[in-house]
Structure 1
């Protein structure tokens, strides 16, 4: 019977397998879906020339003829991942360079010590730890994509929450909700907004001012919810959804906190200060100089070198930590290339414009708020299958960004709907590795997490739908 139950157990396939399956499906569609194309014209936006669809010019194209055989077969399927990686080389290189730089920065330990020193300094003020820590984590998620980097901090914050009279769930809310809500309200996150804008052809982060407002609102609501939850648990511990399990885990985590003073050295302050200066420089570069992935990657690389020098790493240690950092982000880098392979098949089969034309006819006439709400729902569904923010951007933006052109919705609104859909779904998705890691460390099951987060998720989703509609209405 046990063997039979194991056979019946179903789980989502690995993201790489899923994307390769979509490549096969896309190849099959090139045999079924009529091939066609729009006329295109060169347009200049912010000094950059790009190709844009001319609405109303769609026409079908024969499956075989002067364009060759448009039906994609086994040879094309097998070569699509390689071609996708080649086509996405700039984005892949950007992800690896930034990942390597953060490998050096995080290995210095300055970020960990800064957060821990701050938390312990506020220990006697209890609940004030929550807003300060969540602002820091949310800012990290919003600006540079902080996520997996918090995993080493879970044990520390669980211990601290127990010591302050809260529960283990409060630590998960501070760390996971804090960083993830930063993803939802991304401003300059290179693994979310910047990649999506790059793939969608949006230059210069034109709605950065609106993104800052979104980040403030999302973070404020999340902090208020977490503080309400923590206050309620401290006043009535038995109302905690993890009350019984915490009785068993509390002794384990409390003895992990030795109480020794954390030394936040001058070197640590220089590294953290350099990080803050770097973020300000990137915002200035985007707004004033039109920086893109090359320039932003160079700045992050310089920050990594600075952190290595200040922390007195030798040349071998810096190189090894850079490689470790790259390794942490290789999953995201490869998935971007694989996702681009889907686009390669669709482009070679000339079915993208056919799909766009059909969607445009279906959605034509809808008010902008209805369109962006549908896009938000679409990304909610896709994220369950492709939780990686960069992977989803690479997978969806080539199709949905031109769709916005056809129905008169600016591409920045398409990017906004994507970032909201991806970030919010990962709050409740069982396919997210960071969430499952945090819950496992705290000995919390997924059902308990859903019971706590689901009401907040509903509120945040409504706010996201409103902001997506605003993004569409204000233009670029």
Structure 2
């Protein structure tokens, strides 16, 4: 008899969390902070928390009820999709764009060429690529921008004898390790330090040291995993699933090397130019997913036009490929919307501010080491409810920074606790839209991802706790 515990389907898991959150809206007191009106984003004002009535009546008519019932549960997926419509549409448009690019065969041809070039050196792809993604994460918060690369790296690594998890980890762990060990990422450390009232450039030397330690650990972990599954593919939790994934990602019944044609080169050059232009726009022009969607639509149209010139596709083929690409990515878009629905239920129930206020009060008055470690733990937990790095910084720093003053912990250490707690949550929490999108694109079940990545997260969490201890020594408060 099989006694192994079966993890529920991702959608079942998310719906279960929505139900639990709705139950909490009946148990946890509702409350709210006052928010600064002149802030670019709503910023809670420390010390202004107050409880509010769950039910407010006027002339015998209920005008407000924060308790979330059946209606709140069943409308959460819709409301969550509306709240996350930018990310949902971004993912769908990317799927369609890559549908056109994939139809030209350029990715497979490029993968084949790289396989030939790196014969006997396949393992070098991992550290080089992860470092590049990590630099993008630590400097400018690269997250959603990495989504298109899954359609390149997964077939690349599978062609080299690794599994789909290896390809996904190169991208997600690379970028997210950089985001977690942020040096100048304006969306996390920048907002956090500004909210904490300290210079944005302060502590950057120590943060660069942390970054190189962190990315080294992640690279070694992925290389260890990759070597392990290549030597014995059955050790991969994706072994059975990847039999089908190969048909999807490699677009071929075999792993035969595809001839590299002139139009493949032009299409890939257009892709590289588009990626470079996108990086410039994100870094210098403040672009976000709207403009990034524009870039990838442009790349796909360029690929389609070259394909028509080469005689390998027609206008109808382009349109059909776009629709097929959207179909492939539809599940990922649905998961993103449902995951955001969890937060909608908590927000409508007005329990997020209550939870944050209670946690902040619990941390007050503890010894320094205990305070920083628990602060890290709290920030990790908060990230489940507040998946946005910038929102979590704006929400928690006005509360946590003054607490640091009370126990004589420098605000730089408070920011460090935030960035690691927030960043590590992105590795494992299903409320993270980018993570769920990445897994959807990669066709990797959430439970398989969690099984492999969780040990790394535990190690990185402990290392972060050590960083906080060192920070207490580097930034003493008399």
TM above 0.5, yes or no, is yes
- Is 1:43 aligned to residue 38 of structure 2? yes
- Is 1:81 aligned to residue 77 of structure 2? yes
Per the alignment, residue 363 of structure 2 pairs with 363
1:156 pairs, out of 148, 156, 159, with 159
Question: How much is the aligned-residue C-alpha RMSD, in angstroms?
Answer: 5.1
Question: 2: distance between equivalents of 1:183 and 1:347?
Answer: 29
1:178 pairs, out of 170, 184, 189, with 170
Distance apart, 1:285 and its partner CA: 1.6
2:22 pairs, out of 23, 27, 44, with 27
8 Å CA contact retained: 1:372, 1:468: no
8 Å CA contact retained: 2:154, 2:168: no
Per the alignment, residue 104 of structure 2 pairs with 108
- TM-score (normalised: structure 1): 0.65
Per the alignment, residue 43 of structure 2 pairs with 52
1:65 pairs, out of 35, 56, 61, with 56
- Is 1:315 aligned to residue 315 of structure 2? yes
Q: CA separation of 1:466/1:28 partners in 2, compared to 1, >3 Å: closer, same or farther?
A: same
8 Å CA contact retained: 2:165, 2:444: no
Q: CA separation of 1:359/1:332 partners in 2, compared to 1, >3 Å: closer, same or farther?
A: farther
- TM-score (normalised: structure 2): 0.65
Per the alignment, residue 345 of structure 2 pairs with 345
8 Å CA contact retained: 1:91, 1:195: no
SS at match of 2:47: coil
8 Å CA contact retained: 2:379, 2:421: yes
Question: 2: distance between equivalents of 1:108 and 1:130?
Answer: 28
Q: CA separation of 1:282/1:150 partners in 2, compared to 1, >3 Å: closer, same or farther?
A: closer
1:117 pairs, out of 103, 113, 116, with 113
Distance apart, 1:470 and its partner CA: 11
How is 1:206-225 mapped onto 2 (pairs within 5 angstroms)? none
Number of residue pairs the alignment of both structures matches: 404
SS at match of 2:41: strand
SS at match of 2:160: helix
How is 1:119-138 mapped onto 2 (pairs within 5 angstroms)? 119-123=115-119, 126=120, 128-132=121-125, 135-136=128-129
How is 1:36-435 mapped onto 2 (pairs within 5 angstroms)? 36-44=31-39, 49-65=40-56, 68-123=64-119, 126=120, 128-132=121-125, 135-136=128-129, 139=132, 143-145=145-147, 146-147=149-150, 150-153=153-156, 156-158=159-161, 175=167, 177-185=169-177, 242=232, 262-312=258-308, 313-364=313-364, 370=373, 373-374=376-377, 378=381, 393=387, 402-408=395-401, 414=418, 417-423=421-427
8 Å CA contact retained: 1:181, 1:222: yes
8 Å CA contact retained: 2:176, 2:423: yes
Distance apart, 1:41 and its partner CA: 1.6
8 Å CA contact retained: 2:373, 2:468: no
Give unpaired runs (5+ residues) of structure 1: 159-167, 234-239, 383-390, 440-445
SS at match of 2:48: coil
Q: CA separation of 1:350/1:156 partners in 2, compared to 1, >3 Å: closer, same or farther?
A: closer
Q: CA separation of 1:60/1:342 partners in 2, compared to 1, >3 Å: closer, same or farther?
A: same
Q: CA separation of 1:212/1:176 partners in 2, compared to 1, >3 Å: closer, same or farther?
A: farther
Distance apart, 1:355 and its partner CA: 1.2
Question: 2: distance between equivalents of 1:275 and 1:467?
Answer: 39
Give unpaired runs (5+ residues) of structure 2: 58-62, 135-141, 195-199, 247-253, 402-410
Distance apart, 1:222 and its partner CA: 5.5
Distance apart, 1:108 and its partner CA: 2.7
How is 1:450-465 mapped onto 2 (pairs within 5 angstroms)? none
SS at match of 2:37: strand
Distance apart, 1:467 and its partner CA: 7.7
8 Å CA contact retained: 1:81, 1:337: yes
| Residues 218-267 of structure 1 deviation map (CA, whole Å, 9 limit, x = unaligned) | 66556567778999x9xxxxxx9739999xx9xx99xx666x6x533332
Distance apart, 1:434 and its partner CA: 8.8
